[in-house]
Amino acid sequence: MGEEIKVIVFKLGNEEYGVEVDKVQSIERMVPITRVPKTYSFIKGVFNMRGIVIPVIDLRGRFGLPEAEYTDQTRIIIVAVHDMQVGFIVDAANDVIDLNSSSIDTPPEVVGGVRAKYLRGVAKISDDRLLIMLNLSEVLNKSEVVQLESVEE
């Protein structure tokens, strides 16, 4: 048996994704975001959270999914990636579950339109519910981190 991990469940479209709680620093409501010129289109800009400038990425754009209007359910999940705080815009974040790490299978090449390199695996929660686990270090690759670090300054 694998170890139990706590996972925050969030939605993009009809798919449910998960990220380990220990990588998440906070979940915020949508806030005004300052655009930053000459960045990747999925980098929406930055916002100031308690004195820290945090770059914000739209995960839909990152994964090549169609953009959606922001709603009352839209959230920014603040995660720590490569010793840096980054906000991910998601459609909703409303659940924390315990997951056995042995229930996470290797992802197929594409899940819900998202390439496997961004994914850690797929966990079967119940007969009709799958959870797509993100690989945070791949969601932001090294050159994008360098670009984001220049955004922070």
CB-hemisphere CA count at 13 Å for 135? 15
List CB contacts of 83: < 8 A, sequence separation 6 or more. Answer: none
Q: Which residue is listed with tokens 């840096």?
A: 84
| Residue 52 domain boundaries | 4-152
CA 121 to chain centre: 14
Q: What is the largest CA-CA distance in the chain?
A: 48
From first to last of its 153 residues, what are the pLDDT tens digits of the chain?
Answer: 678 999 999 999 888 999 999 999 999 999 999 998 888 888 899 999 989 999 999 999 888 888 899 999 999 999 987 788 899 999 999 899 999 888 888 876 665 555 667 788 888 888 888 888 888 777 776 566 666 666 655
- What CATH number corresponds to the domain at position 120? 2.40.50.180
Domain count of the chain?
1
CB 92 within 8 A of CB 11: yes
